[in-house]
A = this chain, B = another copy of it.
């Protein structure tokens, strides 16, 4: 076996038809699909070690990613062999082959050589998730139902944000999450805000003089996500079920079924019990994973491997 190279893979997927990221026997998972495609492209011998991805955010069944990051260690000669007739660096050739082989609910945006010390999971600085809701304020667009939760309520967005403000900072989210074996539910939330997406035209018609002959329509088509309600939440990392449980609890506040004080108590007293279970997965998308500058990657990974405490 020759030299081993670590590759960083940036990708996106529609989680609707997957049993989440993590490989499971007999079930369709994102990791399972990519690893088996990689084994075919890299011609990994069936009796040897198989390709194994390490991911930044292990998404659950039905959760999407518009930007996910993982890494894989591959043999340099296996990587070089996938260039074939392409006039491109080996990692670009691999990206093209992999993207073409995968089903259309996974898109490989980029494959690059990972910088020294890079670990997709442990080097990550923070993750951004967005949860999308269509409430009574706007008509439902059925084309979006795969990644937007439809609620027919009128929601009190100010109350939802009052509740969410209690999550900012370092807390034990034990009321909203399940710890991994040997792990904690202590996390640092940096941002957590519900916003109303403005109603905007799909296209701006400012450049009229340049296009006179093509005209300006009398009816202006709105942008797809006009008027949706979105939770943007950023943390160093998230415990299992944490985002969907926070979304569900804050929506109960928005519906007037629970008070802001009830929500705050759940943050103050970390205890997993009824009424804070996870909401439906389809509204949730992992939007972004941020990494520190290359020279701080290894230090970050060291720090994050240490167990979190309050």
Contacts of A175-205 to chain B: CB distance below 8 A: 190-193, 195-198, 200, 202-204
The answer to whether A12 touches B141 (Cβ under 8 A) is yes
Kindly report which residue of chain B lies nearest to residue A191, judged by CB atoms: B215
Once bound together, how far apart are the Cα atoms of A66 and B220, in whole Å? 13
Residues of A within 8 A of B (CB): 12-14, 64, 66, 104-107, 109, 126, 128, 130, 139-147, 150, 161, 164-165, 168, 190-193, 195-198, 200, 202-204, 211, 213-219, 221, 223-225, 230, 232, 234, 285, 287-288, 290
Kindly report which residue of chain B lies nearest to residue A66, judged by CB atoms: B141
The answer to whether B66 touches A13 (Cβ under 8 A) is no
Chain B residue numbers with a CB within 8 Å of A64 are: 143
| Distance between A281 CB and nearest chain B CB, rounded to angstroms | 13
| Distance between A127 CB and nearest chain B CB, rounded to angstroms | 10
Once bound together, how far apart are the Cα atoms of A129 and B150, in whole Å? 25
Once bound together, how far apart are the Cα atoms of A234 and B219, in whole Å? 9
Contact of A195 among B12, B144, B203, B230 (CB under 8 A): B203
A-B CB contact pairs (8 Å), 12 listed: A64-B143, A66-B141, A128-B217, A146-B146, A168-B214, A168-B215, A191-B215, A193-B214, A195-B203, A196-B203, A198-B204, A215-B234
